[in-house]
A = this chain, B = another copy of it.
Amino acid sequence: MGKLSKRVAIVGAGMSQFGRLYPLKRNPDLWVDAWIDAVKSVDNGIEPKDVDACYVGNYSSDLFNHQGHLGPQMANLVGLTPKPASRFEGACASSGIALRQAIIAVASGIHDVIAVAGVECMNELPTSLVTDALATASDALFEYPAGATFPGLYATVATAHFHKYGTTSEDLMRIGIKNHENGVENPFAQMQRSIAQMMQRKLKKLEEQGKELPDWKDEFDYLKSASNPMIAYPLRLFDCSLVTDGAACVFIAAEEVAKNYTDTPIWIAGTGQGSAALSIHDRDDLTGFIATREAARQAYEMSGYGPKDIQIAELHDCFTIAELVALEDLGFYEKGKAAQAVKEGETKRDGARPINTSGGLKSKGHPVGATGAAQAVEIFKQMRGRAERNRQVKFEVERALTHNLGGSGATCVVTIYEK
């Protein structure tokens, strides 16, 4: 693996509202909302004439919306026709890949500025068919026909981790609680409500109905109750991310032009991508993902940084177990040690290394093909000190990381950012 031949920066980034927005919003609407938000974030302004190409990350508008060929459609909506416009797919890492390919393309010299899009409108399908559509990112010959959809596949990873390292359901619950607490502070998030708030709401409702009140001492009791049903042991409802409609937009620029757009560009320090067999039965180890380890290795090597240098990160918490595993695969903690660190609050917004200040996929939402780009939006805001409400971290962020995972870990893109 070589080095990029020139430096590349993010000069603007924004997103649409995330939520259950269909049919009021479809891919075209979501994307235009994200584009406008990103344009507003560019300090000195940006116009379609400044943008050389449109790189669209999307998992499956084919299955969700019966519309393929999103590249030229998205480009046309924001005035980029007849410039190059392509779609990039790697399951839930689709816009992580689009971001990476844009970084590579700008470094190659062929383009100076690229608009990276992440879009997915999942609620056009009923939820049962969403699970089916997502399952096509697993092995459609050996996993999916056997009844394994993603909650089941990640549950297998969780039980393996429980078995090998003594991890518990409470360890996973802490991750969900933290991410919801962050989501409260994100006006773009789908669920701007903490687990504690949801518990209180449930208690109030029961009281109003004159029902006997459960003996819940804290959120953990609530999360262990029937109010948080088991989906696939040990993963309960609140261990799973959301079905979301949303889009994000990131402007990538070459070093020669970046300063035209802002005095505070966020530089790409490293990019890495790894892959694995689609089916988890083809893997040597179920307690971690080889694709993450490979992507991290490349990104660290390119940047010259190591895990200790990373101050904040957005990790792909499609399920709570995925965040735990990522903390270990990325080298933030040794294998089997992340749960204790989470317990000690290290990954909280005021902890040693805040993780998923955006609320993560768990609370902000997970429009699968938009997630990678949306992670970059949060990092861009945090590194420029402009995160909304009360979620801006209290220190100057010099180096950050995003981790975007596809399928049950068959694709991973890791990006490292610096000031």
Contact = CB atoms under 8 A, between A and B. Distances in A.
Interface string A69-97: 11111011000111111111111000001
B72 A277 contact: yes
Contacts of A53: 273
A270 to B, nearest CB: 11
A67 B135 CA distance: 8
A106 to B, nearest CB: 8
Contacts of A97: 86
A72 B3 contact: no
Interface in A4-62: 4-6, 52-54, 59-60, 62
Most buried by B among A6, A82, A105, A411: A82
Given A66-B140, A88-B88, A275 B109 contact: no
A5 B101 CA distance: 16
Contacts of A107: 5, 108-110
Contact of A69 (B75, B86, B90, B293): B90
Contacts of A245: none
A294 interface: yes
A173 to B, nearest CB: 29
B65 A62 contact: no
Nearest to A293: B82
Contacts of A407: 69, 72
Contacts of A234: none
Contact of A83 (B60, B80, B274): B274
Contacts of A111: 1-2
Interface residues of A, number: 70
Nearest to A411: B72
Contact of A101 (B6, B86, B140): B86
B73 A139 contact: yes
Interface string A306-318: 0000000000000
Given A89-B89, A104-B110, A278 B72 contact: yes
A290 interface: yes
Interface string A267-288: 0000101111110001000000
A71 to B, nearest CB: 6
Contacts of A101: 86, 101, 104-105
A138 B73 CA distance: 10
A136 interface: yes
Interface in A317-366: none
Interface string A111-122: 110000000000
A367 to B, nearest CB: 15
A82 B136 contact: no
A63 interface: yes
B110 A276 contact: no
Contacts of A72: 90, 275-278, 291, 406-407, 410-411
Contacts of A60: 62, 68
B90 A71 contact: yes
B278 A73 contact: yes
Nearest to A52: B1
Shortest beta-carbon contacts, A-B, top 7: A84-B273, A108-B108, A67-B140, A72-B275, A72-B410, A82-B294, A85-B275
30 contacts: A2-B109, A4-B108, A4-B110, A5-B107, A5-B108, A53-B273, A54-B275, A60-B62, A62-B136, A66-B144, A67-B139, A67-B140, A68-B136, A69-B90, A69-B136, A70-B89, A71-B89, A72-B90, A72-B291, A72-B410, A73-B410, A76-B275, A81-B290, A82-B290, A82-B293, A83-B274, A85-B273, A101-B101, A105-B105, A107-B110
